[in-house]
A and B are shown apart, each in its own frame.
Chain A
């Protein structure tokens, strides 16, 4: 039995067959009409029955922001917490309840600004959490300030002359934070989104899924280049484990390693260089190539944006290690005896 199987078996299975309807709560969805969040919600609700887990053992935890309203719409257990803290709260829940499937829903502001610290520490610990990071490159709920993923020079209400700070690349950040599973997908590509979610759900440990999500009110069309059929051909690089990394019309472009620098670059595929096209290895022990892939995209134009699973490697899971220590302590010292604990050390008796 693999670690994956062992971990997933801790979460009880659903008794009967589930449908998407089982995962819809009775709450009215209150996102703006046309928001990309609807597509992600539908994809998650549609995907959950595939997992076949008892829905009472599924918990969605969120922070603050538009995407963080997500738990209200899932007919599972859920907590809409405070800004940036969802990974910390979910860590306590997952570490103390290994029979739960814990999901975190967060946004670019929530996860990367106010909650940046919790995100990176959850990733390095490898707590058994599935983190869905909705990245719309803008603050929506506070009505349109630039975010930590906004492109430099972005004109917003708080930056009338353009934003000054360089953006985070969430995939690069996650890989740098020792993440064991990092993927990127797009709200409008239901099939891709679902496939990535499936892989994330199967991953033991923290899985970070960046979901490019359109905010049609404050940052409409931010990912249009990745969605428009014509442009997407040249802009999107679909990563498939074990496959050569090729894209473009007739898969005419490919990613190769520059022998001089060791870095990756995009080339036109020719019969001469075809054999040298990089084959994607999501399970590579070293994060170096996954990181290089995350740097291919141009942060301004989004050209050469890889989507799919960048990295998926097995690493000890925090909650498992914590539970193991408890078991070991009991093996070594026996189950705790409170009376013996209280009476430990030097004692003396006063006789009445």
Chain B
């Protein structure tokens, strides 16, 4: 089955479709419809920066793209070792694509460790550019190469380009007043220049970027630019690189509009700033640094001119505590974290459930349990978000599906929190956080109106006619309680974590009242208005439904496309709202003979769906810290169809 699916993949998700040779000087230019490049090197080699720059060039050229940064948790793991390898994969195309790609067409390996760590992912025939300067006997022995893979024939099935990147970089910079060590550091820019030549990338952006990044050290800026240009010229002049490639802009893949490239954490940060504007409430972030969520703290702290207050707390608990305090005071309050931080915040989330105040809890999921895999992705906090608190403490859960979608998901989470006065989980993950894709910049008029009304006066008349304020008298539609912020005369009231009497909010240990309040808080969350689930089932005849949530959207959609291109009938649906589920989910599930739920956990959504709807949903799982590969998923789904 595998072979069948993978052969159809060639047509589905592209590959070298046509080979048009055009004369450009003496070199051939071939047209490709898509390319997957992986830059790999030591943690200190600047591979993430190189990947980011290539991505920016590619975005500004107008290709569709998807990226997968993959780096170790250690800031500088021992040089030249396998655990120290950092890589950046970029998939770009002349059509719309959904994933960073399964297998690279090109690997740039800056040292033996980078080659060894990545060669297993390369299909035969792929191009490998290696920095031969780093292939010393000692460096090779360090990672277990007894003989040089560049010479022993083990790379015979690949197009190997041996390039002395370090030597060439140092040579190119000999007129600069730099030590050899300093000059060597620019070798990533040499590699970037070479790859930029190979794929006809625009270069102005990178030169501009380098000048601004090293504005205070113009010599370093110019040296990097010189290395970058030397790499380009090396491609142009060296016989080893006989061919360059064109990947046309993906003009027809995108609706009209102005686009930029954006990562998930940046989109999420912008979504929070936008929510603050749309709600006309000041944004308050209480947070504690944790991978892979810290970038949101960094980003929001740069936007103080939007009235954004960022508070780096002494710990995770204080981060959410301060946010809850700010929510009481009338801010749009947010805390950002990852799984271990959620565990620490649980008690405060329970308090927020009891206080019924709006609060966003952003969980950028990573591999667990415990410290787990801080820089790798996973979806294993779903049940923690759903149930990880004492008592009956329902919390709505919203999950973005792509990096750019983090913007809309943040607005949606804010809508629910503000309208229903409740903490809301926003479940992103490491793959979405660091991955990037083109984003159509929305007009501000398209953004939802999130304004709320603070309570201004009494809301209840006692039997004797006295007008009073009851902090737990609810809106009959939403069951939300009034949000009366300090500073409002006449509405002085006390709230707390002890059970409250319905209406008055006074302390109450009455059994019947507690039963009522538990059910009411649940009913409030159950009653949240969420859109129906869209099902993609082109002719309505599929027997199998693939149900996903979160960042698996890209791989699942790519896999479904492959299957359909191979003539299979398969339906797809993707959940944004995990709590409450869309009203029509039960009916959707009933329509299909088989339901498969691919997740980067051991079946958490599948567990919820099976429990709630009594359907025999089958789990398909992967918890290796990496996103699903489309081909592997397509194979698994094909087996489910044939089963």
Stretch at the interface among A235-243, A282-290, A323-331: A323-331
A350 within 8 A of B: yes
B contacts with A, residue count (CB < 8 A): 72
- Say yes or no: B258 contacts A348, CB within 8 Å: yes
- Say yes or no: A57 contacts B487, CB within 8 Å: yes
B322 within 8 A of A: yes
Taking the nearest CB of chain A, how far is it from the CB of B321, in angstroms? 3
Interface 0/1 of B43-87, CB less than 8 Å to A: 000000000000010011110000000000000000000000000
Given contact pairs A117-B318, A348-B59, A72 touches B507 in the complex (Cβ within 8 A): yes
B347 within 8 A of A: yes
- Say yes or no: B507 contacts A347, CB within 8 Å: no
A79 within 8 A of B: yes
Given contact pairs A77-B494, A341-B270, A350 touches B255 in the complex (Cβ within 8 A): yes
Q: Which of B268-309 contact A (CB under 8 A)?
A: 270, 273-274, 277, 282, 284, 286, 303-309
Q: Which residue of B lies closest to A76 (CB)?
A: B492
- Say yes or no: A350 contacts B444, CB within 8 Å: no
- Say yes or no: B329 contacts A100, CB within 8 Å: yes
Please indicate the chain A residues that have their CB under 8 angstroms from the CB of B205 in the complex: 346
Q: How far is the CA of A80 from the CA of B309 in the complex (A)?
A: 24
Q: How far is the CA of A339 from the CA of B286 in the complex (A)?
A: 25
A93 within 8 A of B: yes
Given contact pairs A346-B260, A347-B260, A352-B256, A85 touches B318 in the complex (Cβ within 8 A): yes
Q: Which of B306-329 contact A (CB under 8 A)?
A: 306-309, 311, 313-315, 317-318, 321-329
A295 within 8 A of B: no
- Say yes or no: A89 contacts B492, CB within 8 Å: no
Q: How far is the CA of A326 from the CA of B305 in the complex (A)?
A: 6
Interface 0/1 of A330-352, CB less than 8 Å to B: 10111110110111111111111
Please indicate the chain B residues that have their CB under 8 angstroms from the CB of A74 in the complex: 494
Q: Which of A293-341 contact B (CB under 8 A)?
A: 322, 325-326, 328-330, 332-336, 338-339, 341
Taking the nearest CB of chain B, how far is it from the CB of A220, in angstroms? 27
A276 within 8 A of B: no
Q: Which of A45-59 contact B (CB under 8 A)?
A: 54-59
Q: Which of A12, A90, A99, A350 has the most CB of B within 10 A?
A: A350
Stretch at the interface among B16-24, B117-125, B417-425, B495-503: B495-503
Q: Which of B261, B326, B444, B497 contacts A346 (CB 8 A)?
A: B261
- Say yes or no: A91 contacts B322, CB within 8 Å: yes
- Say yes or no: A326 contacts B307, CB within 8 Å: yes
Interface size class of A (residues with CB under 8 A): 35 or more
Q: Which residue of A lies closest to B262 (CB)?
A: A345
Given contact pairs A56-B487, A95-B311, A343-B260, A79 touches B318 in the complex (Cβ within 8 A): no
- Say yes or no: A351 contacts B256, CB within 8 Å: yes
Given contact pairs A341-B273, A346-B261, A77 touches B496 in the complex (Cβ within 8 A): no
- Say yes or no: B486 contacts A85, CB within 8 Å: no
A25 within 8 A of B: yes
Interface 0/1 of A215-249, CB less than 8 Å to B: 00000000000000000000000000000000000
Interface 0/1 of B500-544, CB less than 8 Å to A: 000000110000000000000000000000000000000000000
Q: Which residue of B lies closest to A86 (CB)?
A: B321
- Say yes or no: A59 contacts B486, CB within 8 Å: yes
Q: Which residue of B lies closest to A70 (CB)?
A: B494
Chain B interface main SS type:
mixed
Q: How far is the CA of A195 from the CA of B489 in the complex (A)?
A: 28
Q: How far is the CA of A150 from the CA of B498 in the complex (A)?
A: 28
- Say yes or no: B487 contacts A99, CB within 8 Å: yes
- Say yes or no: A342 contacts B442, CB within 8 Å: yes
Q: Which residue of B lies closest to A23 (CB)?
A: B492
- Say yes or no: A97 contacts B330, CB within 8 Å: yes
Please indicate the chain B residues that have their CB under 8 angstroms from the CB of A346 in the complex: 56, 59-60, 205, 260-261
Please indicate the chain B residues that have their CB under 8 angstroms from the CB of A58 in the complex: 486
B333 within 8 A of A: yes
- Say yes or no: A88 contacts B318, CB within 8 Å: yes
Please indicate the chain B residues that have their CB under 8 angstroms from the CB of A57 in the complex: 486-487
Q: Which of B257, B487, B497 contacts A82 (CB 8 A)?
A: B497
Q: How far is the CA of A323 from the CA of B416 in the complex (A)?
A: 29
- Say yes or no: A77 contacts B322, CB within 8 Å: no
Q: Which residue of A lies closest to B266 (CB)?
A: A345
Q: Which of B256, B330, B496, B506 has the most CB of A within 10 A?
A: B496
Given contact pairs A91-B322, A97-B486, A56 touches B492 in the complex (Cβ within 8 A): yes
Please indicate the chain A residues that have their CB under 8 angstroms from the CB of B274 in the complex: 338, 342
Given contact pairs A89-B321, A118-B318, A325 touches B495 in the complex (Cβ within 8 A): no
- Say yes or no: B487 contacts A72, CB within 8 Å: no
Q: Which residue of B lies closest to A74 (CB)?
A: B494
Q: A88-B313, A88-B318, A336-B307 are in contact. List 13 more A-B contacts (CB 8 A).
A: A56-B487, A64-B497, A77-B492, A79-B495, A80-B496, A85-B321, A88-B314, A89-B325, A118-B317, A326-B307, A339-B444, A348-B62, A350-B257
Closest 7 CB pairs of A and B: A80-B496, A92-B322, A92-B325, A336-B306, A88-B321, A352-B256, A329-B304
Q: Report B's interface with A, CB cutoff 8 A.
A: 56, 59-62, 205, 251, 254-261, 270, 273-274, 277, 282, 284, 286, 303-309, 311, 313-315, 317-318, 321-331, 333, 347-348, 350-351, 355, 440-444, 486-498, 506-507
Pull 15 A–B residue pairs with CB atoms less than 8 Å apart, ordered by A.
A27-B494, A61-B325, A78-B492, A78-B496, A80-B495, A81-B321, A88-B314, A92-B324, A93-B328, A96-B329, A325-B304, A336-B303, A339-B443, A343-B260, A347-B258
